[in-house]
Structure 1
Amino acid sequence: MKRFTLTACAALSFSAPAFAQQVPNASPDIPVSAQDRFYTSDQFSNTVSVIDPSTNTLLGVIKLGDQTPANLSPLYKGQLLVHGMGFSPDRKTLAVISIGSNSVTFIDTATNAVKHTTYVGRSPHEAFFRPDGREVWVAVRGEDYIQVLDGKTFAPTTRIPVPNGPGMTIFSPNGKYGYVCSSFSPETVVIDTASKKIVGRVKQASPFCPDIAATPDGKQVWLTLKDVGKVMVFDAKPPFAVLKTFDTGAITNHVNIARTKAGQFAYVTVGTENVVKVFRTTDFVQVASIPVGALPHGLWPSGDGSRIYVGLENADAVAAIDTASNTVIATIPIGQGPQGVAYVPGAVPVGEGRANLIPLAQAGMKIQLTLAGTGRSQVTLFDQGQVQILQAAVAGLSPKMPYVLGLSSRADGGGVIQPLAKFMTNPAGGAIVNTLGPLRQIVSDAKGDMRRYLVIASGDPMMPSAVVQVQK
């Protein structure tokens, strides 16, 4: 039996098989080979990591910008907060979103060279080519529209109004519909790709959807709800009825579909549990929970459905999962803070595909810590030289309540707390918290009176209350 994987869109007008957003649902399948590439968007090192899946090794990174503090200059020209990722149906072009610089960078997959950069509206999140390759749809999450770009020149052409905060667009296998979920409004809309008009609306169970996927059989659309730790599934065809909404876990992030010899399955990353959960699409029953590493984020199947590759946001690594056994078969070091990912079969038709890549170097340096008490938080310090970007995946606290991440001079968290960042937990009692500073030097390297300990306390930074978690 052949193996197939999820496609967001099947080819409409190519004489040879074409492969669109989430790998093919068209025959023939493409076995894993040295011509394939797996890419990650590395948010804190501002790089794209390039992996050869035939050997599960990092070939190098494509540098799109600088690390902090160089990227804070008003004269800075590089890309900032490299985040989202898609690729063209002919597999020749990678589209990489940078949230902080409001850009889409188009990269030649054969040479790893940047061939164009298009600047769009505030805080774009994801960019995906339409199945026929004629357009690129960019979800401009900081505003209320999809920015459409020409698929060849990459120039802006038109805008499609949608509810505030579009998180991502994915296309139906036949290319008729574009499904757009929202990160700020509790509504997913369905757009007719020919008329660019909204033809359907699906109420989300919460406002925050970061990711959406369509099944290769054209029957279902899956989306994640990060703030409440749920997944929703709705009918891919009119009237787009909701089929199922169910709990998956705090900081549920991305979803993707693999169609294998055993059937069709949805793979879902759950950040606070450090696992990928696997569900049958026929009856939504969970069949596996796969430990993968710190804060799994984006994931994507190989061209034959034999593997799922997962970016580990707080581990600076990629986990390769064998879908037959649902076990991790390799863990690969990459750049800092992987977000969006893409598996591109046949990305490099000839040669080794190492041109324009640089070594990982400092982009791989990090320190991982744990805070425990009421709930448990995983913390990573991403080294940027003299300063570090701190990212904490917080879990187990009271929902929708204010807290403070700070420093204490005592190992038990007592005494005066020096605030670093304030945050509000989501309805699942979790949060992703970021701050910046020379933190490694005092929470890890320092001794004696200079040593400090990370803590989380309830309340406001001006008047922190009881400490609920302490660095261990």
Structure 2
Amino acid sequence: MKRPLLLSTLLAATAFASAAWAGQAPFAAAAPDIPVSHKDRVYAAEQFSNTVSVTDPVDNRLLGVIRLGEPQPTNFSPLYHGQLLVHGMGFSPDHRTLAVVSIGSNSVTFIDTATNAVKHTTYVGRSPHEAFFTPDGKEVWVTVRGENYIAVLDGTTYEEKTRIIVPAGPGMQIFSPDGKYGYVCSSFNPETVVITVADHQIVGHVPQASPFCPNIAATPDGTQVWFTLKDTGKTQVFDARPPFKLLTTIDTGPITNHVNIVHNRNGIFAYVTVGGLNQIQVFRTDDFSKVATIPVGNLPHGIWPSGDGTRVYVGIENGDQITAVDTLTNKVIGSVAIGQAPQAVNYVPDAVPEGDGTQNLQPLGIAGQTAHLTLQALKDGKAASPASGVAPTSVSLFDQGLTQVLQASATGLEPKQPYVLALSGQADGGGTLQPLAAFMTNPAGAAVVNALGPIRQFVQGDARTAPRFLVIAPGTAAGPTGAAVQIQAQ
């Protein structure tokens, strides 16, 4: 009676061993893979609902949200004490603590992954962007993007213990898997610096093709570092070891957002989210060839692999979703409705070692209420068809109760030119325009545009208000404006 049981156990162990190919970023290649299970959690930091969504990856089911703050206009109050613009995210090497950065309240909130309870909140300098633990868990480095330093927090007390001066506007940091180096890219200066973790000294400089780097990742084999450039739509790669030589520059597309690394049986791959094209691009790390382009939805942002590298999860910023992709087929295998405008995403294996891990979670509530629109380019007076190859501008109206936050992922425009997002009384974009927001496109002819107000009522119309239509036109808020170049799709 025992032999069949023993045989089945051996077969299961053999199958597991054959599926395990290497450790996943941010850990070293020698780290064991962790199969997807109900103990794992996928977290997304949601900027406009000020929430962190918590998803079970086995069945791609939202368990609830951790509410760190309130929507507008509550968070305008001088007495408001919640978090604002929940944005960045990292986790501890033991998978027990989540570090969540809120840009607007200059804070890092530390959350217990097993109970979803807030353990501590540390306030740092102006506009922090990302936080991550060193591989030994002894420190947490926080890029303070509104200033010129890394705030180094104690990994146990979470109190700031020192600062590392870097070029102004540090965007994100990540560490070599062996814990020797920290790599810090910049959002204001065209330079990435390499810092020794042991003594906090800058030992390397890597030129960036442009200033605006939001995200950086190291390969688990310790050989490469990849970083994205949101302003010019490029992704760059450099040698993770001295002299930190730049290896290649890849044109990935407008609003290139985040990058992460997956190791599976086919090799080591970089997955890059390209917000302006609504896709993930997948590259080999040995020859930098593109092997896949995956449509995933409007404005993909943060991305993170599962503990065994069989999946990546990506936050769809203008779709209020988190989407799962099978990394062996590079096909979408599921989507989950989450909070408003997901930014950073973390997949934390074995986050909940016991129990169901649903304590302190709340339902989505108003955070799940969003309307979606698209704008199409005008060509010869007519809206361009999808076959034109130009990705449409996606627009989301995130409900805040009395008002909405409007966010447009504008693409297909002239580089470095002023435009207005406006309301028109005509479906063709003609007539007098009422500007909602003025913006300047980046060198890739794209921009992420925000506005706030009772916009849903104006666009959709009601018994008291004639419907109006969103358009983009060249010009400034002070005027005059030119003819609309993009109009609301009907």
User: Bigger shift: 411-420 or 281-290?
Assistant: 411-420
User: Match for residue 245 of structure 2?
Assistant: 241
Aligned positions of 1:448-459 closer than 5 A? 450-459=466-475
Could you tell me which runs of 5 or more consecutive residues in structure 1 were left unpaired when the two chains were aligned.
11-24
Contact 1:121 1:140 survives alignment (8 Å)? yes
Contact 1:179 1:189 survives alignment (8 Å)? yes
Contact 1:9 1:171 survives alignment (8 Å)? no
Q: Which amino acid aligns with 2:449?
A: V
Q: How far, CA to CA, are the matches of 2:210 and 2:203 in structure 1?
A: 21
Contact 1:220 1:234 survives alignment (8 Å)? yes
Q: How far, CA to CA, are the matches of 2:44 and 2:251 in structure 1?
A: 27
1:290 to 287, 294, 304: 294
**Greater Rg over alpha carbons, structure:** 2
1:437 to 453, 476, 484: 453
Instruction: Describe the superposition over 1:116-147 as per-residue Cα deviations: whole angstroms up to 9, x where unpaired.
Output: 00000000000000011110000000100000
Q: Pick the structure with more helix per residue.
A: 2
Q: Which amino acid aligns with 1:278?
A: V
1:400 to 412, 416, 422: 416
User: Match for residue 10 of structure 2?
Assistant: none
1:426 to 409, 423, 442: 442
Aligned positions of 1:261-340 closer than 5 A? 261-340=265-344
2:87 to 62, 68, 83: 83
Q: Tell me the secondary structure at the aligned position of residue 484 of structure 2.
A: strand
Q: Which amino acid aligns with 1:263?
A: G
Shift in Å, 1:110: 0.4
Contact 1:256 1:300 survives alignment (8 Å)? yes
Two-structure CA RMSD over aligned residues (Å): 1.1
Q: How far, CA to CA, are the matches of 2:443 and 2:64 in structure 1?
A: 39
Q: Tell me the secondary structure at the aligned position of residue 450 of structure 1.
A: coil
1:147 to 143, 151, 156: 151
User: Match for residue 13 of structure 1?
Assistant: none
Answering whether residue 483 of structure 2 is matched by residue 466 of structure 1, we say yes
User: Match for residue 355 of structure 1?
Assistant: 359
Q: How far, CA to CA, are the matches of 2:320 and 2:77 in structure 1?
A: 26
Instruction: Describe the superposition over 1:139-190 as per-residue Cα deviations: whole angstroms up to 9, x where unpaired.
Output: 0001000000000000010000000100000000111000000001000000
User: Match for residue 236 of structure 2?
Assistant: 232
User: Match for residue 365 of structure 1?
Assistant: 369
Q: Tell me the secondary structure at the aligned position of residue 441 of structure 1.
A: helix
User: Match for residue 203 of structure 1?
Assistant: 207
When the two structures are aligned, how many residues end up with a matched partner? 458
Shift in Å, 1:26: 3.3
Answering whether residue 425 of structure 2 is matched by residue 409 of structure 1, we say yes
Instruction: Describe the superposition over 1:3-57 as per-residue Cα deviations: whole angstroms up to 9, x where unpaired.
Output: 33532355xxxxxxxxxxxxxx333211000000010000000000000011110
Shift in Å, 1:400: 0.2
Q: How far, CA to CA, are the matches of 2:250 and 2:458 in structure 1?
A: 42
Instruction: Describe the superposition over 1:45-104 as per-residue Cα deviations: whole angstroms up to 9, x where unpaired.
Output: 000000001111000000000001111111100000000000001111000000000000
Q: How far, CA to CA, are the matches of 1:74 and 1:422 in structure 2?
A: 27
Q: How far, CA to CA, are the matches of 1:293 and 1:449 in structure 2?
A: 32
Answering whether residue 188 of structure 2 is matched by residue 184 of structure 1, we say yes
Could you tell me which runs of 5 or more consecutive residues in structure 2 were left unpaired when the two chains were aligned.
1-17, 379-389
Instruction: Describe the superposition over 1:296-345 as per-residue Cα deviations: whole angstroms up to 9, x where unpaired.
Output: 00000000000000000000001100111100000100000000111111
Shift in Å, 1:409: 1.1
Q: How far, CA to CA, are the matches of 1:38 and 1:353 in structure 2?
A: 12
Shift in Å, 1:465: 1.8
Contact 2:109 2:122 survives alignment (8 Å)? yes
Please, what TM-score do these two structures have when normalized by structure 1? 0.95
Contact 1:5 1:302 survives alignment (8 Å)? no
Shift in Å, 1:457: 0.9
Aligned-pair identity (%): 66
Q: Tell me the secondary structure at the aligned position of residue 276 of structure 2.
A: coil
Contact 2:278 2:295 survives alignment (8 Å)? yes
User: Match for residue 22 of structure 1?
Assistant: none
Contact 2:225 2:237 survives alignment (8 Å)? yes
User: Match for residue 387 of structure 2?
Assistant: none
Answering whether residue 21 of structure 2 is matched by residue 3 of structure 1, we say yes
Instruction: Describe the superposition over 1:376-435 as per-residue Cα deviations: whole angstroms up to 9, x where unpaired.
Output: 311000111121100000001100000111111111111111111110000000000000
Q: Tell me the secondary structure at the aligned position of residue 4 of structure 1.
A: coil
Aligned positions of 1:91-110 closer than 5 A? 91-110=95-114
Q: How far, CA to CA, are the matches of 1:185 and 1:211 in structure 2?
A: 14
Answering whether residue 384 of structure 2 is matched by residue 380 of structure 1, we say no
